[in-house]
Amino acid sequence: MNQQQSSGKASRVSRLFPALALVIGLAAPLAGCGYNDVIQLDEGVKANWAEVENQYKRRADLVPNLVSVVKGAANFEQETLTKVVEARSKVAGLKIDASTIDDPEKLKKFEAAQSELSGSLSRLLVVAEQYPQLKATDAYRDLQSQLEGTENRIAVARKRYIGAVADYNVLVQSFPTSIGASMRGRAVRPTFQAAPGSDKAPEIKL
């Protein structure tokens, strides 16, 4: 390598140092203000929300079959069936998108609709206790078992989501991580209202 080539290479390297120093200088504050931590917890909240949606959908998908089986029981209380169908219809009619977990009103409507369906299903199962022949059928017992498992998974998914949002909300409000949250356009998120016993699935006797 001649002197001119060596000099040119040295010149290029020397020009890289300011750019490298700038990158390092910008990266250090970002790391210090929790920029990456905000991203990590943000994604954690989204993942837990996806599981909440999945389990509630699983329950809603069981309802038509459950109603169909119960309809086969003679003189079954029609009002109870109607309320289950209506509650399920409200759940199905909800418009759920990415903004739901950031919108207190949307989340409140989602929870209210799911709570209504929970209540109507509980009522149906209580009424079904009065029909021994219905309870004895394999189809009904299988649906009860599936519903029980789904209610357990809903309780777990809700609890995890509430925990993930709590951790996230602490991070976005704390200094200096609040700076990283602001840079990401992230703010405090609404969460489920954890009523007493809401972290436990309702008991479904088989």
Q: Is 155 helix (H, G, I), strand (E, B) or coil?
A: helix
pLDDT (mean) for 105-133: 95
**pLDDT tens readout for residues 135-174:** 999 999 999 999 999 999 999 999 999 999 999 999 999 9
Residues 26 and 79 in one domain: no
The first and second tokens of residue 106, run together, are: 């949307």
Identity at 126, one-letter amino acid code: V
The enclosing domain of 152 has a CATH number of: 1.20.1440.20
Residues 151 and 71 in one domain: yes
The residue assigned the tokens 């809603």 is 60
- Give the contacts of 182 (CB within 8 A, at least 6 positions apart): none
Q: Kindly compute the dihedral angle of the four CA atoms of residues 173, 176, 179, 180, in this order, to the nearest 10 degrees.
A: -90
Rounded Cα–Cα distance for residues 146 and 97 (Å) = 27
How many domains in the chain?
2
Whole-model pTM over 0.85: no
Identity at 62, one-letter amino acid code: L
Residues 55 and 24 in one domain: no
Q: Return the percentage of the chain with pLDDT > 90, whole number.
A: 66
For residues 204 and 118, the answer to whether their CB atoms sit within 8 Å is: no
pLDDT at 26: 45
Residues 113 and 17 in one domain: no
* Domain, as residue range, for 23: 1-32
